[in-house]
Amino acid sequence: MKKIIVAIDGYSACGKSTTAKAVARQLAYSYVDSGAMYRATTLFFLQNQINIAEVKQVDNALKAIHIEFVFDEKEQVSHTHLNGLNVEQEIRKMYVSDKVSEVSALPQVRNAMRYNQQKLGSLRGIVMDGRDIGTVVFPDAELKIFMIASMEVRVQRRLLELQQKNEQATAAQIQENLLHRDHLDTHRSENPLRKASDAFELDTSHISFDEQVDFILKLAHQKIYATV
C-alpha cells in the first residue's frame, strides 16, 4: 500500500491542527504543524529583537534557527522544539499570534520553511497543515483539504483555547487578531493563502470534530487505495 500526502490548508482557528493530528493518528502517518514552524520562527525573532525590515538580520536569524518536532511518549503528541527547547506552549500565546503573519509573509522565511517542510514530506505518509501546503509546498499532494469556518465560530474556538491555557483576551481582541491575520495571509505577495483548484472544501462551522476527521479519512482512504 502506497503512502500519500494529506495537505490541509485554511484560515486560523478553523480546527486545522487538531483535525490534522487526529487524521495522522488514524492513518499512522507523521504529522507536521507548519504553522508551529512559523510561530517558532516568530518567537525567535521576538526574543532576539530581529528587525524584519532588515534583510541581513532576517537572513542571519534564519541560519540560527533549528526547529524539530519531538514526540512526547507520556502525552502521545509531538511538541515543537526551537534550538533544543520545548516552545509548544509559548508559541501559542497572543503576543506571538499578533506577529506571526508579518514574519511568515517574508520571502526568506517562507523559502526556508518550505525547504524544511518538503524535506519532512519527502518520504510521503504525512499529514501537514498550514496556509500554502496544497498550493506551494506540496502541489502534487494526493489529497488537499481547505478548511473554513464562520468568524463567530473561529472567535469562540480561539477564546476557549486561550482560556484553557489561562491566557486573558476578549472576543473583540481575538476577532481583530483573526481579521488582521486573514488580511495578511490572503494579501501577502509571497504565496498567499488560497484554495487549491483540486482541494476539497470543509466548512467546520456546524459539524462535530469527529465528522471533520471522518470526512478527511474517507477521502484519504479513497486516495490511498486508488494509488495501489
Contact 15, 157 (CB under 8 A): yes
> Phi/psi of residue 68, each to 5°?
-145, 160
- Is 123 contained in some domain? yes
- Confidence (pLDDT) at 220: 97
- Is 200 contained in some domain? yes
From first to last of the 228 residues of the chain, give the pLDDT tens digit: 789 999 999 999 999 999 999 999 999 898 999 999 999 999 999 999 999 999 999 999 999 999 998 877 777 778 899 999 999 999 999 899 999 999 999 999 999 999 999 998 888 999 999 999 999 999 999 999 999 999 999 999 999 988 888 888 899 999 999 999 999 999 988 889 999 999 999 999 999 999 999 999 999 999 999 855
Tell me the whole-structure pTM to 2 decimals: 0.85
- Three cell numbers at 206? 456546524
* Domain harbouring 102, CATH code: 3.40.50.300
- Confidence (pLDDT) at 154: 97
Sequence letter at residue 47: Q
Contact 37, 113 (CB under 8 A): yes
- Three cell numbers at 126? 504525512
User: Got the DSSP string for 88-104?
Assistant: TTGGGSHHHHHHHHHHH
Nearest-angstrom CA–CA distance, 211 and 191: 30
Nearest-angstrom CA–CA distance, 19 and 16: 5
Domain count, the chain: 1
- Confidence (pLDDT) at 228: 53
- Is 84 contained in some domain? no
- Three cell numbers at 97? 499570534
Nearest-angstrom CA–CA distance, 210 and 23: 10
- Is 41 contained in some domain? no
Contact 160, 152 (CB under 8 A): no
- Is 19 contained in some domain? yes
Range of the domain at 126: 5-34+93-222
- Is 59 contained in some domain? no
- Is 147 contained in some domain? yes
- Locus of grid cell 482557528: 13
- Is 101 contained in some domain? yes
Nearest-angstrom CA–CA distance, 97 and 102: 10
- Name every residue whose Cβ is closer than 8 Å to that of residue 3 and which is 6 or more positions away in sequence: 29, 123, 124, 125, 126, 224
